Amino acid sequence: MYPALKKLYLTHKCKYRQYIMNCKKSFYGNLIKSSDNKNKTVWSLISILNNNEKSHKNITLKNSETIIDDPQTIANTFNENFINGPQNIQRSIKRNIYSTSNFESNMTIRESMCALPFSETELLNCLKKSIKNKHSSGPDDIPNSLLRSSLHIIIKPVTHLVNMSFSNGVFPKELKLSTVHPVHKKGCSRDCSNYRPISVSSALSKVFEYAMLERLNSHLVKYNIVSNKQHGFCNGKSTITAINSFVNDIISLLDKKQNVLAIFCDLSRAFDTVDHLLLLEKLNTYGIRGVVANWFSSYLSGRCQQVEIKFKTGSTIAKFLSTALPVNMGVPQGSVLGPILFLLFINDIVMFLNCLVLYADDTTALISGKKQENIYPKAVEILNKLSNWFNFNKLFLNHDKTFFLPFTTFGNNHLSDSSNKNINILGTGKFLGIYLDQNLNWKCHCENLIKRLNTYCYQIRNLKELMDVNHTLNYYYAQIQSRLSYVWGSSSAAKNVFLVQKRIVRCIAGSKKFDSCRPIFKKLNILTLSSLYILELLTFIFHNQQHFLRHSSFHNYNTRNKQQFITPLTRLKLAHNSPTSMGIKLFNALPSTLRSQGTIKCFKTSLKK
């Protein structure tokens, strides 16, 4: 009857539906972008969209034959278990007498660290770049996002409090309480030992910690205190640099006809068992003395933790808090200073053993020798030295999970035999998220990576209708590209990984199965697997230029190639295709304008163009 009105109705109905869809895309995209655990968030959204959302399941525990279902008792039981676990581990350690005279004579820094007061502008800039825009909150119920957004208002009193704390050498007592959330790992859900404690400290405590971290980092960099063997929590270093260093060392030794074997050490709850007195002694040798040492002593002492669990009664979910218990050991979990304090605690291990690659508490030793019959005795000797060092420093080396992995060239497996039955010898092992095998052919790693990538492809396919391309790309960079950026790109097994990458890219773009991917990669500005490999190699060479020789090191002639690096001579094809050899060849082929970039950031930006 009213065709004009019907047409108008249909037009606005279409616009309304499109508006709702855009709002949903924006909401879900921002939810994933701001999440600390993007993978978990995506799976939760998929469950909601498929009407498979899991209802809250109450935790019950079993003590001997008794079932514990009272929420308050459960919270207290968890807290007691989390507190007693590290204490029991430390009690089981038979501490040996191990001389530290060599450490003290070589590592003592004569100049003492000074925690200079902050100006309001300096502290504001420091906190803005450091405090994450997260919505989680600790015992003070103040979300980080709220603190960050109000910094410009409260910066004057905050600066005064921070400077007073530094000048008096006291960390505020009210900020020493942390809230722990138990997260089930695997195994029986009624066993406390199968839960991981996730600790959250107060937002305000991070203000004091970030300020001290700024001063501490300046001192550590000035005196080059942290070992170059350490790759964890260090600026400019990552798991990629650790793996690059480790793999290059192995290949270099194999190319020199050396027999090579690695020891992968497993430490039980290393961060939680750090002895405070030992830590303060080590800080003293690094120049952290006087008022600053008093501040760190105050920061570590008198800390407490409480466990929070959620319990559903009827249709209501309530939170239950355990009784707060004192924490007398370990670096504070979920803190800002905890990681760097642990690095300083373990830093002197390289004074006794130089054949190490460190990533926080992941300790790996590389043993080599000309005679194959001497490798295992030498490895056992090194393992005993490591065990002695860990025992002296009250860290527990788990021998059941510590293993040996021999590396050989193809068709040469003589290192797989050992008469020592107490040694765990594996053919493949996991190192910082990648799978290593005896011949470094990366087949095992690529197979496991493909399984993971197929999972991500499934997630993107399920969510692409509710996420715009930009948010999907953010998820791609966080979850997928980060796993593709490693040193195994020259492996023949990488071609299968590339096929999965192309399938994922087609899924993001909404293309058909047999559409060409080349224009899609360009349109979405995504690097192919081979391009990522080249980028990582060139970045590695640029970052480590001081370790490579140039032609100008051997002559003064003004030749075209005098500023290029010398390509190492290699015997094995494995060494010829190693990250170092391939990286140097690629780096030498770059235009001089690219090679002469001032910073790593400018270099990578120019390279991508």
Q: Where in the chain are the domains? A: 3-50, 91-229+273-331, 241-269+341-439, 444-608
For residue 247, is pLDDT > 80? Answer: yes
Mean pLDDT of 20-38: 78
Q: Mind listing the pLDDT tens digit for each residue in 158-216?
A: 999 999 999 999 999 999 999 999 999 888 888 888 999 999 999 999 999 999 999 99
Identify whether the C-beta of residue 456 lies closer than 8 Å to the C-beta of residue 468.
no
Q: Which residue has the higher pLDDT, 408 or 40?
A: 408
Tell me which of 2.60.40, 3.30.70, 3.40.50, 3.30.950 is the CATH number of domain 241-269+341-439: 3.30.70
Which residues touch 442 (CB under 8 Å, ≥6 apart)?
435, 488, 491, 493, 494
For residue 18, is pLDDT > 80? Answer: yes
| pLDDT given at position 424 | 82
Query: What is the distance between the alpha carbons of residues 366 and 371, in angstroms, rounded to a whole number?
Result: 15
Q: What percent of the chain has pLDDT over 90?
A: 55
Mean pLDDT check: name the lowest of 110-124, 272-286, 577-591. 577-591
Query: Has this prediction a pTM greater than 0.85?
Result: yes
Query: What is the distance between the alpha carbons of residues 494 and 479, in angstroms, rounded to a whole number?
Result: 18
Q: Share the mean pLDDT of the chain.
A: 88
Rounded to whole angstroms, what are the CA distances from 101 to 107, 228, 287?
Answer: 10, 22, 17
Token code pair at residue 171? 């960390």
Which residues touch 88 (CB under 8 Å, ≥6 apart)?
none
Mean pLDDT check: name the lowest of 34-43, 89-98, 377-386. 34-43
For residue 558, is pLDDT > 80? Answer: no
Helix, strand or coil, per DSSP, at residue 545: helix
Mean pLDDT of 118-130: 96
| pLDDT given at position 460 | 87
Query: What is the distance between the alpha carbons of residues 225 and 218, in angstroms, rounded to a whole number?
Result: 11
| pLDDT given at position 104 | 53
| pLDDT given at position 66 | 84
pLDDT class of 93 with cuts at 50, 70, 90: confident
Q: Which residue has the higher pLDDT, 99 or 58?
A: 58
Buried-state track 497-527, b at ≥16 Cβ within 10 A, e below 16 = beebbbbbbbbbbeeeeeeebeebbeeeebb
Identify whether the C-beta of residue 30 lies closer than 8 Å to the C-beta of residue 472.
no
For residue 256, is pLDDT > 60? Answer: yes
Which residues touch 453 (CB under 8 Å, ≥6 apart)?
480, 483, 497, 500, 501, 504
For residue 471, is pLDDT > 90? Answer: no
For residue 597, is pLDDT > 50? Answer: yes
For residue 54, is pLDDT > 70? Answer: no
Rounded to whole angstroms, what are the CA distances from 81 to 88, 141, 320, 416?
Answer: 10, 25, 17, 40
Mean pLDDT of 460-488: 83
| pLDDT given at position 554 | 73
Identify whether the C-beta of residue 510 lies closer than 8 Å to the C-beta of residue 526.
no
For residue 297, is pLDDT > 50? Answer: yes
Mean pLDDT of 586-591: 92
Q: Which residue has the higher pLDDT, 46 or 282?
A: 282
Q: Single out the residue of 440, 375, 367, 446 nearest to residue 410, CA to CA.
A: 440
Q: Single out the residue of 426, 431, 445 nearest to residue 488, CA to CA.
A: 445
pLDDT class of 308 with cuts at 50, 70, 90: very high
Q: Which residue has the higher pLDDT, 105 or 66?
A: 66
Q: Which residue has the higher pLDDT, 264 or 547?
A: 264
Q: Mind listing the pLDDT tens digit for each residue in 203-234?
A: 999 999 999 999 999 999 999 999 999 999 99
| pLDDT given at position 101 | 47
| pLDDT given at position 196 | 92
| pLDDT given at position 102 | 47
pLDDT class of 421 with cuts at 50, 70, 90: low
| pLDDT given at position 486 | 79
Which residues touch 503 (CB under 8 Å, ≥6 apart)?
457
Mean pLDDT check: name the lowest of 201-205, 431-435, 445-449, 547-551. 547-551
Q: Which residue has the higher pLDDT, 431 or 416?
A: 431
Mean pLDDT check: name the lowest of 235-249, 307-321, 419-433, 512-526. 419-433
Q: What is the CA radius of gyration of the chain?
A: 27
Helix, strand or coil, per DSSP, at residue 436: strand
Query: What is the distance between the alpha carbons of residues 324 and 304, in angstroms, rounded to a whole number?
Result: 6
| pLDDT given at position 422 | 63
Mean pLDDT of 233-256: 90
Q: Mind listing the pLDDT tens digit for each residue in 335-389?
A: 999 999 999 999 999 988 888 999 999 999 999 998 888 898 999 999 999 999 9
Identify whether the C-beta of residue 288 lies closer than 8 Å to the C-beta of residue 113.
yes
DSSP string, 381-417: HHHHHHHHHHHHTT--B-TTT-EEEEE--TT--GGG-
302 φ, ψ to 5°?
70, 20
Mean pLDDT check: name the lowest of 95-109, 115-129, 433-447, 539-553. 95-109
